[in-house]
Structure 1
Amino acid sequence: MAIEIDEDYLLAQLKTLLTIDSPTGYTDAVVIHCSRELERLGLTPELTRRGAIRAVRQGSRRQGARAIVAHLDTLGAQVKAIKENGRLELVPIGHWSARFAEGARVTLYSYHGAFRGTILPLKASGHTFNDAVDTAPVGWPHVELRVDALTRSAAETRALGIDVGDTVAIDTGAEFLDNGFINSRHLDDKAGVAILLAAIEALERAQARTPVDTHWLFTIAEEVGVGASSVVSPDIASMLTIDNGTAAPGQNSSEFGVTIAMADQTGPFDYHLTRKLVDLCEENRIPYQKDVFRYYRSDSASALEAGHDIRTALAAFGVDASHGYERIHRHALVSVAQLVAAFAVSPVRIGRDLSELSGIDDFTTQPTKAAEQAAAPSSGRRSPEYQRHRPGNLPRGGA
């Protein structure tokens, strides 16, 4: 039975999430919002000390549980120094170029209140610097934050209560178009969070049963590389990460359908779990494509690096201009949500994953001969934007 996604609910959640500032290290408000929404959907969220969320939806069995994860934190900046002219030197939170910070409207959060401001290049006035505005270098040392308050010196800025280390949240500038395109900063990974909430809402509405417990995880430090390092429990055997796919020249990602990541800079994702995602897309007529990301990591990497012996895979919604002026299409959001719901209710195919350790009996297998990899042509059913990839007549596996 296909689980129907409420697109209006998904988009409403995304709009709300985009109004909540949550750069890494300043995520309390979005954690509270997400936790309350999970409670409204009928789940019981558990929070780690710092605020990562785990909400378990019970299935037929506890062992061999599945996790589905997205991250609540976003890119941002911090005050590095207070300059003699009263303006602020910044350093980035997460990895993003100052090229996309120039002109951004922001909120600065100090211990003594919040301030509005604009990130500007050091040479911001064309009437003063003429062509030098166009030849100025790009980089964080070459921008500054102009605070919208009366200050012309470092002493006056400090008197406002602003200090080194204060958090700077970047405005999203969100715009939802009637043709389905969505332009906004921080779609990575607010869109992923909205996808998880929409999948949960759909499963609850359908009163769907799952073969194992499903751990819905929301992390708070993915942008600095430590997202899922501490919220994964020993019951989990496989984890599906939901994050952005880079729709750009040289990539196979798209703003439509599901992008299934085969590998990122940390290496290949789990063969069997990734194969299962492909099968589920085929079985549920969900358009998809595969991609490999060279300069990318996700919550999957942090979980494995923390020592969790779990299968990991990544299903992405294609984002144009990721970590910059981001754009997505709602078609991808709904497609990924459909895959998440289908994954949650799908049968367990690798029974040995119930135990952390076992013998050679029932161990998984992969094709070893070229002849075994010969495949019949795909039936080709899909939206016109794509040619779906049928993996062939190989034995099916997956978690």
Structure 2
Amino acid sequence: MNIPNVNETLELLRKLVSIPSPSGNTSEVITFVESFLSELDVTTQRNHKGALIATLPGKDSLNHRMLTAHVDTLGAIVKEIKPSGRLTIDQIGGFTYNSIEGEYCQIQTNAGKVYTGTILMHQTSVHVYKDAGKQERNQKNIEVRIDEVVHNAEDVRQLGIEVGDFVSFDPRVQILESGFIKSRHLDDKASVAILLQLIKQIIQENIQLPYTTHILISNNEEIGYGGNSNIPPETVEYLAVDMGAIGDGQQTDEYTVSICVKDASGPYHYSLRKKLTHLAIDNGIDYKLDIYPYYGSDASAAIRSGHDIVHGLIGPGIDSSHAYERTHKSSIKNTYKLLFHYIQSEMEV
């Protein structure tokens, strides 16, 4: 099968990554997804945490499936307004400070005003700091230079900027003729775009699903608990759709769908993993099995919270995770194909 309107999926991805949504400040992107699904007449509801749950009725309403992908991203929060008028930040999510050095950013105030800035080392100028390249990239040395005329902390506060304001990173998204997509926040907005396009195909082609299927658009995955609630008791299978990690010792690449065998939480459900593998083989889908040693998903969060479910994890391969990321449309296609066949498959109930 071919993905219907693959370019439409990529443009949807461009829109998603362009909406700032660090964990804790995701209302705008959730509203975007909600509007997208509303135009398809898909039933949705927000939970108290602000995540969005869409429900597609199936033939079997006694046994349910749940799929999830997350729209929250890495980001930061203002920790301190320095006497110089620059900002110290605290991390939201797990990234290294060197991965954001030199990045453009936005600061959103409590009143909704948005200012731009650049994330820099305090000791950036090599004409002033002899050991600029040797200084550690950490919270003490990294700061935000605001694009406003400010000379001190009071000037910054006059703008309305205060401790606790959210800082989001410029995604710098590019969709290239070679098929590569490079951007921040492909983790996990690539998966969200895939799921939204899949829902659209199901609705437009009037595909009857074998089981009532819920899609959780999670908004707290980067901080560890996005998928640990609002799972209907009828749910049998719970599949997280999240990025596959690429690096030394990994099989995952930018061209296939990655099926996770195990992450830091332990093995994923063996029977579901085998089922996903067989679906890929039977339908000519390029895939890789892999282990992510320093990784957790909304599916593993659901297991830790005590839900009696069969859990799995698949997703597109993403290079340079939690930095300036990249994938290829081949990986988007293969992930889409596996999900298309998975949601129409039978469960062991």
2:12 partner letter: Q
Q: Which amino acid aligns with 1:206?
A: E
Q: Where does 1:200-215 land on structure 2 (aligned, <5 Å)? A: 200-215=199-214
Let me know the Cα RMSD of the aligned residues.
1.2
Q: Identity percentage over the alignment?
A: 35
Alignment-derived partner of residue 127 in structure 1: 127
* Contact in 2 for aligned 1:263/1:292 (Cα 8 Å): yes
Aligned residues: 348
Distance 1:153 1:15 in 2: 37
Tell me the equivalent position of 2:320.
321
- SS of residue in 2 equivalent to 1:55: strand
Alignment of 1:345-384 (within 5 A): 345-348=344-347, 350-351=348-349
Deviation at 1:139, TM superposition (A): 1.6
Cα separation, 1, equivalents of 2:127 and 2:114: 31
Q: Secondary structure at the match of 1:31?
A: helix
The answer as to whether partners of 2:3 and 2:336 remain within 8 angstroms in 1 is no
Q: Is the contact made by 1:3 and 1:206 (CA closer than 8 Å) also made in structure 2?
A: no
SS, match of residue 60 in structure 2: coil
Name the structure where strand makes up a greater proportion of residues.
2
Residues 90 and 144 in structure 1, CA contact (< 8 A), matched pair in contact too = yes
In the alignment, which residue of structure 1 is the partner of 2:96? 97
Point out where structure 2 has 5 or more consecutive residues left out of the alignment: none
State the Cα deviation string for residues 170-221 of structure 1 (Å, max 9, x = none): 0000011001001100000010100101111222232211111011110000
Q: 1:50 maps to which residue?
A: 49
Normalized against structure 1, the TM-score is what?
0.85
Report the 3-state secondary structure (helix = DSSP H, G, I; strand = E; otherwise coil) of the residue aligned with 1:212: strand
Report the AA paired with residue 203 of structure 1: I
2:20 is matched with which residue?
21
User: Quick one: distance in 2 between partners of 1:285 and 1:206?
Assistant: 22
Q: What secondary structure sits across from 1:95 in the alignment?
A: coil
Which residue in 2 is equivalent to 1:269? 268
Deviations 1:316-353 (A, max 9, x none): 211110001101001101110111111111122x12xx
Distance of 2:217 and 2:237 partners within structure 1:
16
Whether 1:243 and 2:260 are equivalent positions in the alignment is no
CA contact (8 A) 1:5 1:334 kept: no
Q: How many angstroms apart in 2 are the aligned matches of 1:3 and 1:255? A: 18
Query: The residue matched to 1:289 in structure 2 has which SS?
Result: strand
Kept in 1, the 8 Å contact 2:73–2:187? The answer is yes
Q: How does 1:213-224 map to 2 (within 5 A)?
A: 213-224=212-223
Residue 3 of structure 1, CA deviation: 7.3
- Residue 127 of structure 1 aligns to a residue whose secondary structure is coil
Q: Deviations over 1:275-309 (max 9, x none)?
A: 11001101111011100010000111211122211
Which structure would you say has the larger Rg?
Answer: 1
1:142-157 mapped onto 2 (5 Å cutoff): 142-157=141-156
1:240-319, aligned counterparts within 5 Å?
240-319=239-318
Alignment partner of 1:197 is 2:193: no
| Post-superposition CA distance 1:247-268 (Å, at most 9, x none) | 1111111101111000000000
CA distance in 2, matches of 1:4, 1:154: 52
How far residue 4 of structure 1 moved from its aligned partner, in angstroms, is 4.4
